[in-house]
Structure 1
Amino acid sequence: MSESGEKKPKINASRRLILKSLMLAKAAVMLENETKEKKDEKVRIMAERVPPLDCGRMSLQELQELCKQMHHKIDVVDEERYDLEVKVVKNNKEIEGLSQKVFDLKGKFKRPNLKRVRVSADAMLGALLGSTQKASLDLRANLKSVKKEEEKEKEVTDWRKNVEAMSGMEGRKKKFDSGAPAQ
């Protein structure tokens, strides 16, 4: 290792460049072969599904019957194409929804910086209701009036004066204090 902490590559730059150019050349050849194979497969499938027409020996009646058959096949193919398009759109929406759920679960979304905006209550009400409707923000006008019930004031008395009455002993305290035996 050198002093800067970087690892030296195992192969030098010229060797790496040669390998890269060889890989690109091989990829170009493979791509060319793949397009040629696709073209050949398309020709083979078309020959298989659509036989060559010989319209020179057909009568008018036979040509009309052939046209009806072709229209019927076109309708069948269009129905299949429409069904496949609907499936693709449905799957794309499902994929988009699932990817959004994954994105939300990862929690790597940025929250925008919100600015504090000072708006008066009348301005906010005007913005919500629209500028055509003028409304005041007198919230107390809509409230019902409630009469306060006056609390009954209880007489505040000294508890020591009514100990006997409050204790429910009916005069037994006097007998206890005087030292007389209870009957």
Structure 2
Amino acid sequence: SHRKKMTSSRSGHLMSLMLLITHDLLEEEAVREKAAYIEDNCSAPGYEMLKKLSQTIDKVDEERYDAEAKVKKTEKEIEDLKMKVIEVQGIKKPALKKVRMSADAMLAALLGTKHKASMDFRANLKEVKKEVKEEEEVGDWRKNVDEQAGMDGRKKKFEST
């Protein structure tokens, strides 16, 4: 019988197809072997635990990254504030002048001119003392009025002051 010779392009094409099929078969076998190995040597709970651990590690890594970012931001803010403090300390404050001010002037400065309040305590205290003394000396007010009546009384009052 007569055989037809295959063209080189046809033969190359078939060869690449066979290689692809072989590759796929080998890959499938590797996956099956891996699964069989895990099944034989790794208990299901252990494998699940590894999976969970892996997920937890990923989550913790994310949180650590976020925390580091926050720390860096806070450190920068602290540095900025330190610079501001140094800046403020650099500005010299003018020395305050001592100003003598009466109590009334102080009240006016604190409360504004609306509130008129007298703070002259000493004068008020003296006045109270005077009044108390006079009452003790005079005794009966009617007697005092009689003494001051007429020219003699007025003269006495003028002389006593």
Does TM, normalized by the shorter one, top 0.5? no
Q: Which structure is higher in RCO with an 8 Å CA cutoff and minimum separation 6?
A: 2
Rg (Cα) greater in structure: 2
Greater share of residues in helix: 2
